Amino acid sequence: MNNPILNLSDVRKTYLTEKKERINALDRIDLDIFENDFVCILGPSGCGKSTLLRLVAGLDRDYQGKIFYKGKLLTSSSHEIGMVFQEYSLLPWRNVIDNVVLGPEFLGKGKRERIEIGMQYLRLVGLDAYTKSYPYELSGGMQQRVAIARSLANDPQILLMDEPFGALDAHTRILLQKELLTIWNKNRKTILFVTHSVDEAVYLSDRIVVMSASPGKMLADIPVDMPRPRKRSDPAYGALVTKLLEMLESEAKT
């Protein structure tokens, strides 16, 4: 097997409250992510899923343990690791194309090159007709597609996604799940995707990392051996959903 593109070794995270109480958010996380993997992190609210992504993204450096990217210790944020948040976090004063090219602009790329990059990814997410629109003119699903295009425009090797469809209605969520898989098949980025939806994890991922309630520990690392596109009516699909729900229910009782 190839070496992992991302390796987390004995990662622990503790918060100190205003009352000086120590809260353990993550406890002894050991995880390997391989290139082109689509891995979902599944767990109850408050189990440290989003915290884990923030550590990998370099947004929080106050933790114990080690995180390696391509075999090298990760000591700061990297443009090779992009992140899509649940909140679309688009700049309201910038139109769609100017939001998408924000990263290339920071990297000093010229306007013509920036626009070419931006249009490439807007076509990929089906929004090339909305370049001059502003975020407030778009639906929630469209805004999230712009956010995904913006992350891809930085050409990251790893795309971190923190419950990106959590705020959407069920129909839009299903549509964007399908679109995300189409984008992933075309780009083959490595994706680490946080969700609390069992169905979403089974539909999307190659592997599902199940986490315990706080403090977040790894309960299981489960391969999803089903061909895509997956059908929710498939008995194997339903069996895996049931298994995961039972794991989470059992964890909730402890």
Convert the pLDDT of each residue in 126-183 to its tens digit.
Answer: 899 999 999 999 998 899 889 999 988 988 999 999 998 887 888 888 988 998 999 8
Convert the pLDDT of each residue in 184-237 to its tens digit.
Answer: 998 889 999 999 899 999 999 999 999 988 788 999 999 999 999 999 999 999
Long-range contacts of 176-179 (CB under 8 A, 24+ apart): 176/141, 176/144, 176/145, 177/203, 177/204, 178/229, 179/125, 179/126, 179/145
Tell me the pLDDT band of 75, cut-offs 50, 70 and 90.
confident
Please give the pLDDT value at position 1.
Answer: 58
Please give the pLDDT value at position 253.
Answer: 63
| Beta strand pairing call for 207-211 and 38-42 | parallel
Q: Between these two residues, 1 and 75, which has the higher pLDDT value?
A: 75
What is the model's pTM?
0.90
